[in-house]
Amino acid sequence: MNTKTSTSTIAIQPEADHPHRWLIEEPQGATSTGVCRICGTEKIFRNWLESSDFITNTEHRMAA
Ligand SMILES: [Zn+2]
């Protein structure tokens, strides 16, 4: 039996069936590359975009 899995995934990618678990790498200038630990999707995050979000992360890290 030929068990060759033919991936019929089209270029169109709808919302994933899971909440992406972004693993953020070291900031490279103004952006950071995040890789989903589940599906491996990469996404560029802009560090400078929302400073309020950045502060929230810092506070969260300090609280932990
Ligand atoms: Zn994912």
Note the pLDDT tens digit of each residue in 9-58.
Answer: 545 556 789 999 999 988 778 889 999 999 999 999 887 655 555 555 55
CA of 15 to the centre of ligand 1 (A): 9
At residue 22, the pLDDT reads 94
At residue 47, the pLDDT reads 77
Q: Are 20 and 41 in contact (CB under 8 A)?
A: yes
CA of 22 to the centre of ligand 1 (A): 8
Half-sphere exposure of 53 (CA within 13 A, CB side): 6
CA of 39 to the centre of ligand 1 (A): 4
At residue 21, the pLDDT reads 94
pTM for the whole structure: 0.47
Q: Scan for tokens 């309020």, then name that residue.
A: 52
